[in-house]
Structure 1
Amino acid sequence: MTRQNRSVTLDELYRDLHSHPELSFEEIRTAAIAAAELRAAGFDVLEGIGTTGVVGVLRNGNGPTVLLRADMDALPVLEETGLPYASTTSGVMHACGHDVHVACLIGASRELAATRADWSGTVVAVFQPAEEVGRGAQAMLDDGLYERVPMPDVVLGQHVGPAPAGMVGAHPGAAFASADSIDITVRGRGGHGSRPETTIDAIVIASAIVGRLQTIVSREIAPQETAVLTVGRMNAGTKNNIIPDSAELGLTIRSYHEKVRGHILAAIERMVRAESAASGAPDPAIVPAESFPVTVNDSVATERTMAAFRSAFGEEAVLDPGQVSGSEDVGLLATAANAPLVYWILGGAHPETYFTAANAGTIERDIPSNHSAHFAPEMQPTLIRGVAALVIATREWLRS
């Protein structure tokens, strides 16, 4: 299924997308489906923005411009869901639910195009590549996104997560954490394992660094602040009796305030260099990798949008998820346009299973989270609610 048309149901579309995941900046097939769907709905379509990004513009008289964003990329995860429509691409999976995002935006684009008598303004549907590596939004901006499409008055979007399917909600203010990945190479002097006195042991230095880094959050960040520092990768050596020349560490850092983020990054550099110097080692290499800014929901715009959701779905279906420790690059699209952002959580977990786990206190064990090999959102009512949320939010911001 390389092209779609409006006779394809949303369920069929979603199953196809889930079965054919593509990694960051490789979303060629997904982008082609999005472009074909937008054209079928009557949008003006631009392709290849920021490598594989697709944008559809639907002008419908005077009024505001609303940008709707869905990310398209998958993850290097071997799927273990057992679904009949599981990934057919070995070692690649839609483990973060971006297939849900794409399907919902296509569904919303269809509905908005079919109901143009009910609203006035411009809809900009953005299918963004490479969110998982934090570079897709910026790539589209660098490729002249806002020189090619109307500047939005508001940026809207959603992320499926392990909340009960049918529920939606956004947290005003800092909603998703900033994220920084750092690659560190500790340099030493290798040699024979039987003669450590002739070496500078990079493994020992790296081990000391790992221990010291744990004190940053516990001893340098105020208790009322939130931060996470994780060493997720440590690589060194080739043989038991060889002391290697170097050791590698991979770090991820999460926070909600730029001051906290800056303090953590400076402390990492201070500690890594100090531990190396204390051992008489050469200067280490500290290289920034992926970076995501804090995702900040505009408080006024968020309340306006959530009020529309409460009116449409009922009070009990709209939640405040609190601050999410995951990260996003959607905020860059809003910042570049100087427009408010409203980015909400879309529940995707089976409601009965979720509430049973909640009552038992076993959500973390029984409800797979994003990036898990077992992450499998309930197809319905997740897709129906996701489409409805995008349409309702869009109409709230457009003239009727």
Structure 2
Amino acid sequence: MPSINSRVARATADLTELYRDLHAHPELSFAEHRTAAIVAQRAKSLGYEVTEGVGGTGVVARLANGPGPLVALRADMDALPVLEQTGLPYASLATDPDSGRPIMHACGHDMHVICLLGTLEALASARDQWSGTVLAVFQPGEEVGRGAQAMVDDGLFERFGTPEVVLAQHVLPIAVGTVATRPGAILSANDSLLITLHGRGGHSSRPEATVDPIVMAAATVMRLQTIVSREIATTDQAVITVGTLHAGTKENIIADEAQLGLSIRTYSPELRDKVLEAVRRIVRAEAEAAGADRAPTIETLTRLPVTVNDAAALDKTCVALRDALGVEQVLEMGAFPASEDVGILAEAAGAPLCFWFFGGADRAKVAAAQQQGTVDRDIPMNHSPYFAPLAEPTIDHGVTTFTAAALAWLGHQQNR
């Protein structure tokens, strides 16, 4: 009987070119039409029952193989509005047809898709070794925090079954061959806000006749930095980032308004409420201090929960990962202040979540950067225009980890 490792190797043999193709053709959230079509065709060819258009552009692939648990495997598909600067021969030249913005797979979702496709092939070829049902969820819109909920709202679990566990992985620029995870809170909650400061515009030569929203915005940005440094205990974790600031059209015109885009990360409901209230207080106070005629507008764009790994379920999964990779390759990490919507799937299913990171960076480069203390400078992080996981052996590594985790939960096939 062929080993599962040999089946993984066979499954990954032809995936590198497909990975390069997906990387060169990224698509933004809820516009993943080409990616979804490729996923659907590939999964159908492997014998999966495939449903397209779930939650917009989501794809669900289901394979029943006798009695046993239903196990959900999730991969996200969308890219980001980033101009790629990796210099790769398969670097993205794509732009958004609506806005003209450049698009890049700067977070590795193309790698997630490829690794799940490889896992589906490995599992389909190893049906003599497991029993149950595989539910592969190729999710749109993770980068805007709405894709998981869209699939749930479209009847994901009512239509395809409720899983016993939700498994998901994410590539990270740690050494390829390693996995990093932790029980409990692994990723932060995220609140994305759009704040509009309403000024009173006019000619640049007469600022006294205006309420300058750019000055108001500058004061607000600086004051927001004091929330973490002066209002949050050192034992707590929070991040407040002003990621966008837009105002004005010409140097000799004082604008009517300025807009700030905020990303806020926290790990508990209490801290989340405290930080959000502090943001509202500061924004309103700076507008009043500036003499604004109107109160600022504060709009919530995204609200994501803390991503929480079930401890018992993660223990079970990590046993399989250690067996597949080696004990020393499965690392425990600290809480990471990025955010995900995969927890929405687990919560909606009433199932435990197991989420882990798998390495996609050159081991020697990571080791050298760690020794020199230059990781932040020399190892591009997700969302960077230079982010580029190694195609190989990352694909083989990602398929191995996902397959091992799935088999830990699927039933063992009885001799027939």
Tell whether the structures are fold-level matches, with TM greater than 0.5.
yes
Paired position in structure 1 for 2:291: 280
Question: Which deviations, in whole Å up to 9, do the C-alpha atoms of 1:121-173 show, x marking residues without a partner?
Answer: 11100100111111111111111111210100100010001100111121111
Pair 195,174 (structure 1): closer, same or farther in 2 beyond 3 Å: same
> Which residue of 306, 317, 320 maps to 2:332?
320
Q: What secondary structure sits across from 2:301 in the alignment? A: strand
Deviation at 1:291, TM superposition (A): 2.5
Runs (4+) off by over 4 Å: none
Of residues 48-57 and 267-276 in structure 1, the stretch that sits farther from structure 2 once superposed is 267-276
Matched, 1:24 2:35: no
Paired position in structure 1 for 2:74: 69
Whether contact under 8 Å (1:189, 1:201) holds in the other structure is yes
| Aligned counterparts of 1:321 and 1:75: Cα–Cα separation in 2 | 26
Q: What secondary structure sits across from 1:62 in the alignment? A: coil
How high is the TM-score relative to the length of structure 2? 0.92
* Correspondence list, 1:66-215, <5 A: 66-90=71-95, 91-215=102-226
Matched, 1:367 2:372: no
| Aligned counterparts of 2:13 and 2:320: Cα–Cα separation in 1 | 29
Matched, 1:40 2:45: yes
Whether contact under 8 Å (1:161, 1:348) holds in the other structure is yes
Deviation at 1:199, TM superposition (A): 2.1
Q: CA RMSD in A?
A: 1.5
Pair 355,139 (structure 1): closer, same or farther in 2 beyond 3 Å: same
Paired position in structure 1 for 2:4: none
Whichever residue aligns with residue 186 of structure 1, its letter is L
Question: Which deviations, in whole Å up to 9, do the C-alpha atoms of 1:331-363 show, x marking residues without a partner?
Answer: 110000010000100100011111111111111
| Aligned counterparts of 1:223 and 1:127: Cα–Cα separation in 2 | 39
Whichever residue aligns with residue 408 of structure 2, its letter is E
Whichever residue aligns with residue 405 of structure 2, its letter is A
Paired position in structure 2 for 1:51: 56
| Aligned counterparts of 2:19 and 2:137: Cα–Cα separation in 1 | 18
Matched, 1:388 2:393: no
Whether contact under 8 Å (1:177, 1:295) holds in the other structure is yes
Whether contact under 8 Å (1:152, 1:339) holds in the other structure is yes
Whichever residue aligns with residue 154 of structure 1, its letter is V
| Aligned counterparts of 1:216 and 1:195: Cα–Cα separation in 2 | 34
Question: Which deviations, in whole Å up to 9, do the C-alpha atoms of 1:179-209 show, x marking residues without a partner?
Answer: 1111111112222333333222222222221
Q: What secondary structure sits across from 2:324 in the alignment? A: helix
Paired position in structure 2 for 1:224: 235
| Aligned counterparts of 2:207 and 2:403: Cα–Cα separation in 1 | 66
Whether contact under 8 Å (1:103, 1:383) holds in the other structure is yes
**Percent identity between the two aligned chains:** 57
| Aligned counterparts of 2:12 and 2:244: Cα–Cα separation in 1 | 47
Q: What secondary structure sits across from 1:380 in the alignment? A: coil
> Which residue of 344, 347, 353 maps to 1:341?
353
Whichever residue aligns with residue 309 of structure 1, its letter is L
Paired position in structure 2 for 1:377: 389
5+ residue gaps, structure 1:
1-5
5+ residue gaps, structure 2:
1-10, 96-101
Deviation at 1:7, TM superposition (A): 10
Pair 240,83 (structure 1): closer, same or farther in 2 beyond 3 Å: closer
Whether contact under 8 Å (2:145, 2:303) holds in the other structure is yes
Whichever residue aligns with residue 19 of structure 1, its letter is A
Question: Which deviations, in whole Å up to 9, do the C-alpha atoms of 1:205-244 show, x marking residues without a partner?
Answer: 2222112211111111111011011112222223333322
Deviation at 1:8, TM superposition (A): 7.5
